[in-house]
Amino acid sequence: MRNASENVAGLIAIPDLMGFNGLGQGSVPTARVTQPVGAFLVDSHTRFVVWAPNAEKVELQLRQADKEEQIAMQRNEWGYWSVEIEKTDIEYRYGYCLDDKGPMPDPASRFQPEGTAHLSAVVSTDYPWTDQNWKAPSLKEMIIYELHVGTFTNQSSLEAIIDKLDYLLDLGINAIELLPLSQFSGSRGWGYDGVFPYAVQHSYGGPQALRRLVDACHSKGMAVILDVVYNHLGPEGNCLPCFGPYLHKRYQQGWGDAINFDNKQADHVRSYFIGNALMWLNEYHIDGLRLDAVHSIWDFGATHFLAELTQAVRTLSMQTGHEYILIAESDLNDSKLLLPYAERGFGLDAQWLDDFHHSLHTLATGEKDHYYADFGTLSHLQKAFEHSYVYNGTYSPFREKTFGNSAQHTYFDQFVVYIQNHDQIGNRLGNDRMASLVSKPMLKAIAGTYLLSPYVPMLFMGEEYGETNPFFYFIDYSDDELVEAVRKGRKEEFEGFQKDELEYEDPQDVQTFARSRLSWDLQVDGRAEILDFYKQLIRIRKTHPAFQNVMRTAVQSWIEGDKVLMWLQQAENPKDSMLLCAVAFEEGEWRFQLPGNKRWKRLIDSSYSDSTEQVETEITLSGPHFMAWTSVEE
């Protein structure tokens, strides 16, 4: 069913809004441009399409062994150049010459086998998929596992992840989230500095390796979410500005010029990035996208880029019969991202919830520097349970202003929570993982808190067994001045945090990358116990009926004796069992009655390796401590 709507070029059959059939002359558009770009194998031909509105002449340059050939391309009125050739093998490289300058790689290249500075390769979309009957779990059912391809295994490849899927399956994971795969400069990096958004990073194995991984995940019941970056382009190897106004200087952010979503010729830039999203979902069978830092997407047009992207993905879903999810990263505490179109929202499915992380992190570590200054009490975490946004139209001392709005018209499964992720480890001085910061009892307490919260949980690779190897920020640039600029920028980023005597790690040093790899050493004392505790928590998460209820009314939370946070989750069916959880982060002992007239059976206790399954009405917590119970019939 998935492939029924694919055309011969392997593209989704999106509307040809400008009469672009065969790239002929179109009429004045009545809707926004949605023109596919790139190189496509079509029957016995290969079609090349590139947007270069300011060029007087564009030529396709083909290179095969020692032979080179240049072919003139035809322009339509919107600045799209095209040509078809009879070659259908993929043993040659290609690029574009603009007004006799070049050749340069294709801005919509699907593969850069030799890196960003070299010509592009045509790739086939043919693949013997085995996931025709695949159906991804819903958001409320997901246990997400975020991983970075380069440091997850020693092989640093997409293929090597396949060998770890049985391990993840045994852990209880049913969705993996990959850090960005778009081609970036060099062979090592986080991926947020990609410069060819359509190309799969060559050092990870390229397009076919990604298809094999996705197909393997689906065969084991795991969804695949991909991190994409639509707020900036990387600084090294970026050729897009040579072709057209992909960027403009009206808005500036940490990476330089912003992407042009609302200035002159923005229709074509929007089409480029929306087409990119559709490509990942359709050509690679990706189940969802995590949209990086959407607060840095500058668009003051009447229809925001995110709303248009959501509409395009919903159209794709109707055409393929496959549901896709869009998850935003945002630091704005703005529920507009999640509200439906009818309520003037953008209609995204979910967002990362940093307020929950910050509330939990400060309680666990005691850190209060920089943005953590806005958190640190049990009442902050309780508010995160009740209202999602801790700052929901209230004054933020760190920001020195009133911040955020209400999330009360959203659902619990519209927020993803975590205690660790690539940002919260990699963007802190020292780059310590939680297992290096707190005791084993505290590790268990915080794991229980977020994994059995009403929100969608996300683990960061290795946390489930207490990995202590740091996760540094690393790059592989060839420009010495750029490397120095990155070094300087990283040091400035840490100025708001306590420095003590911690050394700053050089992001360009290959050892910084090597030291960020997972150890996979489960023989270290205590790691097997932590892993088993995670498995128990995930098992409860996946089987207890309370987690099927995502309504705001499903959860009640309160603070017991100033030291213990408790929350009660109700199932959709009142006859089903309720879930009760309690957590204490401070050292000490607290005794209190369990609520209501119900009998409670203990499901899990962080002080014991196995559940006691005893029925009780009064309990004692010795912090740090986490416990959970299920209600039983009288």
The residue length of the chain stands at 634
From CA 461, how far away is CA 147, in angstroms rounded?
5
From CA 325, how far away is CA 136, in angstroms rounded?
10
From CA 323, how far away is CA 313, in angstroms rounded?
9
CA angle 298, 301, 303 (to 5 degrees): 105
Can you read off the two tokens belonging to residue 32?
A: 């926004």
Contact by Cβ (8 Å): 566, 594: no
Residue 305 belongs to what H/E stretch?
Answer: helix 305-320
From CA 243, how far away is CA 414, in angstroms rounded?
38
The packing angle between helices 527-543 and 440-451, to 10°, is: 20
Question: What distance, in Å, lies between the first and last C-alpha atoms of the chain?
Answer: 49
- Look up 329 and say whether it is catalytic: yes
Q: Which residues are CB-contacts of 517 (< 8 A; sequence separation ≥ 6)?
A: 151, 152, 153, 154, 469
Helix (H, G, I), strand (E, B) or coil at 572: coil
Q: Which amino acid is at 92?
A: Y
Contact by Cβ (8 Å): 508, 476: yes
Spatial CA neighbour of 350 closest among 328, 331, 317, 324: 328
* Marked catalytic residue, from 59, 262, 329, 463: 329
The 8-class DSSP code of residue 503 comes to P
From CA 68, how far away is CA 103, in angstroms rounded?
11
* Marked catalytic residue, from 292, 349, 467, 476: 292
Helix (H, G, I), strand (E, B) or coil at 292: coil
> Which amino acids are annotated catalytic?
292, 329
